[in-house]
């Protein structure tokens, strides 16, 4: 059996047997491929015999390549799942090797980095009970980080907002409207959710639906995010609202001017003022594309 054969079987198990999302399948298969190359494992028995020391050494190499804590935690989760599957294949008793994932120091709040934001969205999708729910939650979180929406704004989107183009008009606090650019990553996430959602969405319906077909609640998104950040070792400050805050922080750090950022966020004032700055929508879109970390990657 070749490494290609092993990866193909692992892919089929994840995609068909476990019905994991395409994003999870890609991530888990990539992690498996790196481990098999690093440890020179060429059959399920060799994979099943990998130890905690093997995982620790492999992840140390990955950290040396620049992987952040949240990415390390996700890779560890993928590799433990792979080894658990291998043990089932060869009839080996016992669980996969246990290895404590990285944890952030308590009491040291930090912004959600682009990698952490991506991993949080992917982990929420991974943990969902159904693939369509995972696609839904991922799309919501990417709207918060990739478009700077408030969670209430994301959940208030309607079927009439479809199909998403390069911009959408969002109604924020006080009924004030603003134009928000939507990058391809976000459009693709929403499209994947729509392709898997079991509920028909009429123009007057909320875009994001709960498990029973009603409007998705903020509480469900917050609970899913809390579970995901715990799995990734992220601080309690890594909330859905923190993704919107990080959107602003990263754009500001990349050189976006304050008044353009004010317009993107829908803030009523800049500092102590209540003056809106009228910024041409095309200029906003170009600023967004050139500055936002997720668009540049």
Q: Is the pLDDT of residue 101 over 60?
A: yes
Q: Alpha-carbon distance 258 to 277, whole Å?
A: 10
Lowest average pLDDT, out of 76-80, 174-178, 208-212, goes to: 174-178
Helix or strand or coil: residue 107? coil
Phi, psi of 281 (to 5 degrees): -60, -35
Q: What is the pLDDT of residue 294?
A: 55
Kindly report, residue by residue over 215-228, the tens digit of the pLDDT. Answer: 999 999 999 999 99
Q: Supply the pLDDT for residue 171.
A: 84
Average pLDDT (86-102) is 77
Q: What is the mean pLDDT of the chain?
A: 80
Quote the tokens at residue 147: 């478009």
Q: Give mean pLDDT, residues 114-126.
A: 88
pLDDT at 282: 37
Residue 241 annotated among the catalytic residues of the structure: yes
The residue assigned the tokens 């594309």 is 289
If you ran DSSP here, which 8-state letter would residue 217 be given? P
Ranking 82-91, 175-184, 198-207, 261-270 by mean pLDDT, the lowest is 261-270
Catalytic residue (choose from 138, 178, 244, 294) = 244
Selected catalytic residue, list 158, 173, 223, 296: 173
* Res. 140 pLDDT band, cuts 50 70 90: very high
> 269 versus 246: which is more confidently predicted?
246
**Mean pLDDT for the stretch of residues 259-264:** 60
Task: Please check the confidence at residue 292 and state whether its pLDDT lies above 80.
Answer: no
Summarize the confidence of residues 224-248 as an average pLDDT.
Answer: 84
CA distance 11 to 251: 36
Average pLDDT for 173-190:
86
Q: What is the pLDDT of residue 288?
A: 53
Interval 185-211: pLDDT, tens: 899 999 999 999 999 999 999 999 999
Q: Are 263 and 276 within 8 A, CB to CB?
A: yes
Which pLDDT score is estimated for 276?
20
Is 209 annotated in the active site? Answer: no
Assign residue 56 a region: left if phi > 0, alpha if psi is -120 to 50, beta otherwise? alpha
The dihedral of CA 175, 179, 182, 183: what is its sign? negative
Residue 292 annotated to the active site: no
Contact between 133 and 19 under an 8 Å Cβ cutoff? The reply is no
Residues across the chain: 297
> What is the Cβ-side half-sphere exposure of residue 87, based on CA atoms within 13 angstroms?
15
The active-site residue, picked from 87, 118, 150, 292, is 150
- 145 noted as active-site residue: no
Catalytic hit among 39, 63, 241, 245? 241
Q: How far apart are CA 32 and CA 182, in angstroms?
A: 33
SS3 218: helix
What is the C-alpha R_g of the chain? 21
Rounded to two decimals, the pTM is 0.61
Active-site residue among 13, 229, 267, 292?
A: 267
pLDDT of residue 265: 59
Catalytic site includes residue 150: yes
Instruction: Please give, one letter per residue, the 3-state secondary structure of 120-188.
Output: HHHHHHHHCCCHHHHHHHHHHHHHHHHHCCCHHHHHCCEHHHCCCCCEEEEECHHHCEEEEECCHHHHH
In the chain, DSSP finds a helix count (H) and a strand count (E) of: 14, 2
């Amino acid at each position: 059996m070749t490494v290609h054969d092993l990866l193909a079987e692992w892919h089929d198990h994840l995609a068909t047997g476990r019905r994991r999302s395409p994003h999870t399948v890609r991530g888990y298969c990539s992690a498996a491929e790196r481990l098999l190359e690093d440890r020179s494992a060429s059959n399920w028995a060799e994979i099943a015999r990998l130890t905690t020391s093997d995982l620790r050494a492999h992840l140390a190499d990955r950290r040396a390549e620049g992987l952040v804590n949240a990415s390390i935690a996700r890779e560890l989760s993928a590799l433990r799942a792979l080894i658990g599957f291998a043990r089932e294949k060869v009839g080996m008793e016992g669980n996969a090797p246990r290895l404590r994932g990285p944890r952030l120091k308590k009491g040291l709040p930090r912004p959600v980095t682009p990698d952490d934001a991506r991993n949080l969205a992917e982990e929420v999708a991974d943990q969902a009970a159904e693939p369509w729910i995972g696609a839904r939650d991922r799309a919501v979180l990417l709207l918060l980080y990739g478009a700077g929406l408030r969670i209430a704004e994301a959940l208030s989107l309607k079927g009439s907002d479809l199909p998403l183009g390069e911009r959408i008009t969002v109604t924020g606090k006080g009924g004030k409207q603003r134009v928000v650019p939507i990058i391809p990553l976000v459009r693709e996430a929403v499209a994947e959710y729509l392709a898997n959602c079991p509920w028909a969405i009429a123009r007057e319906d909320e875009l994001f639906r709960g498990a029973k077909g009603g409007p998705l609640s903020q509480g469900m998104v917050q609970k899913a995010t809390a579970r995901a950040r715990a799995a990734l070792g992220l601080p309690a400050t890594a909330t859905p609202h923190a993704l919107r805050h990080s959107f602003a922080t990263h754009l500001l750090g990349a050189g976006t001017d304050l008044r353009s950022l004010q317009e993107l966020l829908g803030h009523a004032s800049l500092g102590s003022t209540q003056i809106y700055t009228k910024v041409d929508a095309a200029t906003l879109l170009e600023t967004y594309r050139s500055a936002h970390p997720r668009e540049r990657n």
